[in-house]
Chain A
């Protein structure tokens, strides 16, 4: 390409204003003399300028010497946790398909701590650009062995030289990834002489162009000097790449399916609300639900609930049913069943949250309401109940009541009522009915209407409805007694 001027790219800042004002008007990078990071920054920046991508590009800097990418690139910047840039890139690209996402990583970051992330992003064929600086060492932390360190190479953590037996051999990333179906373009280049430098620049360009054309996952591995980590003069370091590093890491393209894939426009993966409703088996308003319930003014409604009993009492189903009903009524809900060895015979329990606001965690550390269906679970979970909270307990199985005076204890003879109905397993629904009436988070009618969503045996719907009614009626009677 014939060019007349070679000047600093527009999308690199003029001055690097740093948070910790090392120098008020810093004009040079923080990289060591002769470090390859700067060259690659220039290639990336120039391509962005030439393709007019500044407003669309999100640059992800890693943990490593290039952690300060955001001080240099006048782009949208995200600094990812160590090794996690491919995951961050995935999220950014999926959330903003029209943006150009450039993930920039060193070898410790990409192939060491983040090896798994890199592998899976490549395998999924995320349509992003990954720039991979292979300098065969951890630069930032003082020259420890990287996954790409050559055999025999002395580093801070391999003082006698890396051995295959002790540390394994160097990982060849572009060869490794080329065995996957996901990637579209993989190439290894090197910062050595003018010819290779131009190749490197062209490869970076292609990896970005591929994203502009939405062709798929592209990664360029760049053999780059780390004169400091290698304890070499910058010029010698470039010779060392040529003479030694390139013997282990041969240059070239290991995968190029660019031409097989037609350019297209990146589109968001649609998130269709109706699909979600179908998945959750929520049909529509005709079922009698009002999902857009108006939220209460002032006091926020909701509950942090624990449901506990013994295996076989339908404890998890009870929690799930209450959450389902809450969801149908337009609440945010979560249901966290506790699976584990205790499932068999011991106590079973679950955490349920029903809230007018998004739920941060499904865990219920402190409960507002406890439903206890046998004594061991009452003893175990009563301490978590907040003062002033409510415990609904199965008084058929816990005749001697609740040993706390700062909570509202409500005795529901659930098992006895269920037995009267000829269906002992409906004790859980007796409790559900009592819960609905006690909390008034949703109506008893709504609870009954949501039964088909969590009770699969249709033949038992009628008796479960009756159980809910009986539980609610019992609660009603208790409330009347309190009032009078």
Chain B
């Protein structure tokens, strides 16, 4: 077995102004690292926020989100960390 990877495996980028606070990504994130925030965005929605760590870059939230640009996900390759 190789060493468990340390450090973040993925990065989720949230464009709060495009989020409608529907909560679908929160519900479907397998790592449970997304959360609806308390602040309202310009449209009046409680935009989603990232808990800070634990994202694996799986991309599920990207497909679960109905808004084309609200979420972007980047996988962080092990090599890049080295």
By beta carbon, the residue of chain A nearest B80 is A4
Contacts of B67 in A (CB 8 A): 28-29, 38
A-binding residues in B (CB < 8 A): 15, 17-18, 20-24, 27-28, 30, 43, 45, 57, 59-60, 62-75, 77
- Given A5-B72, A28-B67, A197-B64, CB of A234 within 8 Å of CB of B59: no
A37, A197, A227 — most chain B CB neighbours (10 Å): A197
Query: Residue A444 at the B interface, CB < 8 A?
Result: no
**Nearest CB of chain B from residue A133's CB, rounded to whole Å:** 12
- Where the two chains meet, the residues of A that have a C-beta atom closer than 8 Å to any C-beta of B are 3-9, 12, 14, 27-29, 31-39, 41-43, 45, 72, 193-194, 197-198, 201, 227, 233-235, 238
How far apart are the CA atoms of A346 and B28 in the complex, in Å? 76
Inter-subunit contact A8/B72 (CB<8 Å): yes
**Alpha-carbon separation in the docked complex, A42 to B24 (Å):** 15
A-side contacts of B59, CB under 8 Å? 3, 6
Q: Known contacts A33-B45, A42-B68, A72-B68: does B63 contact A234 (CB below 8 Å)?
A: no
CB distance from B2 to the nearest CB of A (A): 18
Does B60 contact A7, Cβ atoms closer than 8 Å?
Answer: no
Chain B nearest CB, measured from A71 CB (Å)? 11
A73 to chain B, nearest CB (A): 10
Q: Are A39 and B73 CB-contacts (below 8 A) given A12-B68, A194-B28?
A: no
Are A27 and B64 neighbours in the complex by a CB distance under 8 Å?
no
Contacts A/B (CB < 8 Å), 15 sampled:
A3-B75, A4-B75, A5-B72, A9-B68, A28-B17, A29-B68, A32-B20, A33-B66, A34-B20, A34-B66, A41-B68, A45-B68, A194-B60, A194-B64, A197-B28
Could you tell me if B21 and A33 are in contact, using CB atoms closer than 8 angstroms? Answer: yes
Complex contact B18–A27 (CB within 8 A): yes
Check if A33 sits within 8 Å of B22, measured CB to CB.
yes
A42 nearest CB neighbor, chain B only: B68
Check B63–A28 contact: CB distance below 8 A: no
Chain B residues with CB under 8 A of A31: 66
Query: Contacts A5-B75, A6-B73: A197 and B63 contacting too (C-beta < 8 A)?
Result: yes
* A34-B22 in contact given A8-B72, A27-B15, A72-B68 (Cβ < 8 Å): yes
Please name all residues of chain B whose beta carbon is closer than 8 Å to the beta carbon of A235 when the two chains form the complex. 22-24, 27
The chain B residue with its CB closest to the CB of A39 is: B66
> Does B68 contact A36, Cβ atoms closer than 8 Å?
no
Report the bound CA distance from A33 to B24 in whole Å.
Answer: 9
Contact A28 B64 (CB under 8 A): no
Chain B contacts for A234, CB-based, 8 A:
22-24
Known A7-B73, A45-B68, A194-B30; 20 more pairs at CB < 8 Å: A3-B59, A3-B75, A4-B75, A8-B72, A12-B69, A14-B69, A27-B18, A28-B17, A28-B70, A33-B66, A34-B23, A37-B66, A39-B63, A42-B63, A197-B28, A234-B22, A234-B23, A235-B22, A235-B23, A235-B24
- Please, which residues of chain A bring their CB within 8 A of the CB of B23? 34, 233-235
Question: For the complex, what is the distance from the CA of A234 to the CA of B30, rounded to whole Å?
Answer: 18
- B18 CB to closest chain A CB (Å) equals 5
CA separation between A198 and B28, bound complex, in Å? 12
Q: What chain B residues lie within 8 Å of A42 (beta carbons)?
A: 63, 66, 68
